Structure 1
Amino acid sequence: MSDKFPSSEPVAESPLPSAKLLLVDDEDNILRSLQRVLRKEPYELTTATSGDQAIGLMEEQGFDLVISDARMPGMDGPTLLATIKKKDPSCIRILLTGYADIDSTVKAINDGQIYRYISKPWNDDELRLIIRQALAFKQSERRRLALEKLTRKQNQELQELNSTLEQKVRARTEELRETADMLDLAYQELRKNYVTTTEVFSSLIDKRLPANRQPNAKVITLVRAFAAYHKLDEEMTQNLAMAAALYNLGKLSWPDELITAPSDLLSRDQKLEYLKYPVVGEQLLMALEPLRDAAKIIRHHQEKWNGYGIPDRLEGKDIPLGARILRLAVDFIELQFGLILERRVPRDNAIKLIKRYRDRLYDPDIADQFLEMVIEIAPDVDHENPDILVLDTLRLKPGMVMARNLYATSGMLLLNEGKVLSSLLIDKLAAFEKGEPDGHRYTLYVHRPEEETETPT
C-alpha cells in the first residue's frame, strides 16, 4: 500500500475583468517588485506608500483587492486592512508579512478578517495564483448577491401581480409560479450547508476519472455508514463526509496520465508530486473556516499507524481519528478501483489486505470495527436498512425524504440526502432521466413513510 501525492495549480474561476489592485508598502523596492510580478496580469495597479495615502485613494476610486505590508510607519498593515473592511467589506484584503510578524498577522486576521496572508519573501507564481483565486471568489460572491436580489425582485413582482391581476392572467400565473419555484430552488441551493456543497465538488473531482473508476461517492457512502454504525456524533460525521468528498482535491491539477495511474506504478518524479496532494488539499481549504476540521482530516489521511506516512510522520493516536477512518475507506475503495495497485483488487482480497496491514498502516482497533461493518453490515458498501425504500422514479411520491445522495450517470449530484421531494422535483427528475444515455434508470433510496413503519394495534 502506498501513500503518495501531487501539487499543481488548482483550477480557479477567471478573475474580474480589469480588476483594480492597490499595493501598499513604505518601501519603493517592494512596490516595484510587486509591480514586476503583476505586470503581465490584466490588472490596473495603483501604489501607495502609507496607510493614510491608501485610505485617501480608496475614498477617491475604490479597489477590488488591496495588498498591504504588515509593518509601516504610522498606520500599520493590520490597522489599514481593518479600516478598509469597515469602509468597503467587499474589497479583498491580503497581508504581506515577515516570518516574525506573528502579532501583526493575528491582528489582521481578527480585526481585518483578511482573505490570506503571504510570507515574505514570496513565491511569484504562488502570489499570482492567490490573487487570481481571490478575485474569482469576489466574482462568485457578486453573482450570488445578484441572484439573491433578482430572486427577491421577481418574487415581489409575482406577489403584486397575483394580488392585482389574478383573475385576468390566470393562464400566465401558472408559468410565473413555475419560474418563481425555480428561482426559489436556486436560492435554496445557494444556502445549502457545506456538506452538500463539498459533495457537489466531489462529483466534479470524480469527472477527471473514467466512469467506472470514480471513488468519491463510494468513499462518502462508506464513511457515513461507519459513522452511523458506530454512532459518531453529528459534527464528526459531517467533517468525515466533507473530507471524504474532497480528499482528492489536491489532485485536480494533475495531468490525466497521473490521475488515472495506480499509485504503486508511478515514476520517481510522479511519486514526488503524489506525496504532496494531502497538503495541497488542506491548503486549498484553509480560507474556509467551516472546513477547517475536514481540511485537517485530509492533510493526515495518508499517515501510517507505524509513523512512516505523510506528510508529518504522525504515529498511532497522534493521527486524528477522522484521518484514521478516512484512510481505511479510501484504501478499501481505491484498491477495488485499481487506483493503488496495477490491477483491480476483488473486494474479499481488499479485506484481506486491510487485515494484513491492520497494525502497520491502520489503527488496529478501528480497522477491526471497519471490517466488521463491511463484512456483516455493509456487504456491498450500501448496507441494507428496513426503514429505507429502494424505488424508481415512477413510484416516488411528494413528501418522501431522500435517504442517500442521487447522482446522474455523468457524476453530477442531482438530489442530496435529506431532500424532501415535491411534485415539481419528481417531474424534473423524470425529465432528467429521459435524457440519460442508454435508457439508464435512476434508483432512489428514500426513508419509509412513518405510516408504513407503525405497528398495527
Structure 2
Amino acid sequence: MVANVNQIVVADGDLKVLDAFERLFAGQYRVKTFDESEEALKWLKENHGVSVIVSCANLPGRGGSGFLKSSETYAPLATRVMLTAQNSVEVFKQAVNEAGVFMFLSKPCSPQELSSAIEASIAHHSRMVFERTLLEKTLSGSVKLLIDMLSLFHSEAFRRTAVMRPQALKLAKVLEMKKTWELEMAIMFSPLGEALLPKEILSRYRAAKTLTESQREILAGAPGQTRDLLKNIPQLEKVAEVLYLSGRGYDGSGFPEDGPTGKDIPLTARVLKLLTDLWYASPENGVDAAAFEA
C-alpha cells in the first residue's frame, strides 16, 4: 500500500529507468511513467496535484527542457528534476533558464542518490504549496479589507458581489475550472470600474440615456483605469486583465473595441460578463434563481 499521496511523474525514453523508478518508489509514492513527452503532457493536463516531474535531457518528443517547460502550464507548483548523461553547459543553461529545473541528476544514478533527490524535491514542492497558500490567504484578506472600505462609499456598486460569488463558484464547478481564486478575486473587484465613474455618467449609461462625447470617453476609459490600478499588485496581474476584458462580448461587441472575440476571451472574463449582465437584467429584488439555472 502506498504510504504517501505525493504523485511523481517520470518521463524517460529508457524503459530501464522507468522500471527503476517504479520499483524504488512504488511503496512510498504514486508513480506514473512515460517514454515520450506528448502522452505525459496529455496526462498532466487531466491529472492535477503532481509533486515532482522528472525528465531525461534527451526525452523523445520535444526534449527534456521543452517538456518540463510545457509542464508548467498544467503543474505550475511541481518540482522539476532533470536526468542527464550530458555534462554540457548549454544543457544546464537551457534547463535552468527555460524549464526552471530544481535539481540535476547524472546518469547512472544510485538508488540512495535518487531517493535523497526525490525527498528533497517533495520537500521543495511542499514549501511552494505552503507559501502560495499563505500568499493567497494574505492577499484575499487584504482584498476583502479594501473592498469593505470601498463599499462604504460605493455600497450600490459592491452590493452585487455577495450574490455573484456563489453563482460564479457554481458555474466554475460545471465548467470544471480547477482553480477559482482568480475568478473570486475578479468578482470581488468587478465593481471597481463603476466606483471610479461619476455617478451621473453611470446612471445615464444604465438607463440607456444619451451621453455626451466627453462622457463616452470617460466611460470607455474605466476598464483601462481598473487594469492600471491592479496590474502592479503582485498576483493580481491576471485578475487585472480579466477585469479589463469583462465588458467584451463574445461576438466582439462592448469594451475594449479592439479586444479579442469568442474563445480568445479568457473564460474567467466571460463568466464575469455573463453574471454582471444577468445582475443588471434582473428586477430590483435580485437575480431570479430560475433565470440563473437557465
Q: What is the TM-score with the length of structure 1 in the denominator?
A: 0.31
Which structure has the higher relative contact order (CA within 8 Å, separation 6+)? 1
